[in-house]
Amino acid sequence: MNEAIIESIPTYTVTVTGYGSVGDGIARLDDGKVVFIRNAARGDILEIRLQKDKPRSARAEIVRMLTPSPYRIKPDCPFYTKCGGCDFRHITYEEELEVKLRRLNDALERIGGLTVSVSEILRTGQTDGYRNKAVFHTDGHALGFYQSQSQKIVPISSCMLLKDDINNAIHNLDPGYEAVIRSGRNGIKPPIEEELDGLIFRISGFFQVNTGAALLLYKKAREYAALSKNDTLIDLYCGVGSLTLFAGRDAGYALGIDNNPDAIETAQFNALQNGISHVEFVCADAAKWASDLTCPDCIIVDPPRKGLSHGAITKLLELSPKRIVYISCDPATLARDLRKLEGYTLKEICAVDMFPRTANIECCCLLMQDTGTARHGDGSLVFACCEDKRTVPVSCYTLGIAENPRSRSSSVGT
């Protein structure tokens, strides 16, 4: 943009009071309009210029730092201000964790109507060099990542989030073609395998990008599932069967469901190579899958970021498990789905920092079927003894519960 035109655009002085769901700082103009500011920190006093102005909100760029936040640090990555891969390299890790907890708790209260307060995030302590997968895009001349809020390619020579062997391989890639590199316990040479708690998994589809944090997540899911040799487990969205096998080894019978045939084939291989014979895998849609199994002891769901479809929720309620372990990477869709799972009460919830230095957060929840709940064949509720399905009566070490549940409010996006 012409410098003379830029100079003619008015600027505003604002104080950043919080963060949006993708990590942007939030401030308000004098008229109350909400402004989202990339690379801003809570407590910053800034001079800003509006970029995209809408009736109720706007996006803005920082013109000048008037007073820096006490949580602000100098970014340690040369690509940070342009690359959209990280969101929080300009604030302390402690502030980042606080941001993620606030985002999760806000979604649970405002969207889910739940009176809970998650107070701890499980984490490995490794904030860099954890990613075992990278997708490199190209503009025809160079490889890189997308710029924030854009499809523009930011060329990179290395990424601080990636494992060393992936960074070392970047220079050997053809810059004219997009590339996906995955790293496992055996490096980047296929077949890629990961090891979790003594189990070996071949990876051909979805797998958590942070292996160390995945172990924390899987241990918590296994704890919540609380399976014995008399129990039956169903794992919807099972992928390559890693969590099915990790938690299902405690069960008498486990079944994994996924609509990706390659993932199911790999899951079957993983069961064989780990010597687990009481687990089966079926290629089917989670919402349309037909089975004679009803009332399993536990169902694990780990859906995509968009959450459970209407059909998947109907299927879940129709199966009527005693326990549901819900894993989510999006607090908003998690909260939405928890509200829809009538006849179940949220008992425990735990956050896991699967994606350090980004705005994303992983959650693991335990829901228990209300005593006396029965359902029609279509999944509709026949009877439930608990009048308030959304009140959370007990806590775990990661959960703080308010004494008096609040009444539901209208759903508001985060």
Beta-carbon contacts of residue 8 (< 8 Å; ≥ 6 apart): none
Q: Catalytic residue numbers?
A: 329
Q: Between vectors from CA 286 to CA 282 and to CA 290, what angle results, nearest 5°?
A: 65
CA–CA separation, 241 and 149 (whole Å)? 34
Beta-carbon contacts of residue 92 (< 8 Å; ≥ 6 apart): 71, 73
The stretches of 26-115 forming alpha helices (DSSP H) are 93-110
Q: Which pLDDT score is estimated for 3?
A: 52
Q: Which pLDDT score is estimated for 149?
A: 79
Per-residue pLDDT of the chain (414 residues; tens, 9 = 90+): 545 445 568 999 999 999 999 999 999 999 999 999 999 999 999 999 999 999 999 999 999 999 999 999 999 999 998 999 999 999 999 999 999 999 999 999 999 999 888 988 999 999 999 999 999 999 999 999 999 878 899 999 999 999 999 999 999 999 999 999 999 999 999 999 999 999 999 998 889 999 999 999 999 999 999 999 999 999 999 999 999 999 999 999 999 999 999 999 999 999 999 999 999 999 999 998 887 788 999 999 999 999 999 999 999 999 999 999 999 999 999 999 999 999 999 999 999 999 999 999 999 999 999 986 544 445 554 433 333 333 333 223 233 322 222 222 222 232
List the one residue out of 375, 402, 377 whose CA is nearest residue 390.
Answer: 402
Q: Which pLDDT score is estimated for 268?
A: 98
Residue-range domains of the chain with CATH: 3-67 (2.40.50.140), 97-127+191-401 (3.40.50.150), 133-182 (no CATH)
Structure tokens at 381: 């509720």
CA–CA separation, 363 and 130 (whole Å)? 18
Whole-structure pTM value: 0.87
CA–CA separation, 283 and 239 (whole Å)? 10
Cα dihedral 287, 291, 292, 298 sign = negative
CA–CA separation, 369 and 382 (whole Å)? 13
**Strand 362-369 to 323-328 pairing:** antiparallel
- At 255, the amino acid letter reads L
Q: Which pLDDT score is estimated for 198?
A: 97
List the one residue out of 333, 331, 365, 329 whose CA is nearest residue 347.
Answer: 365
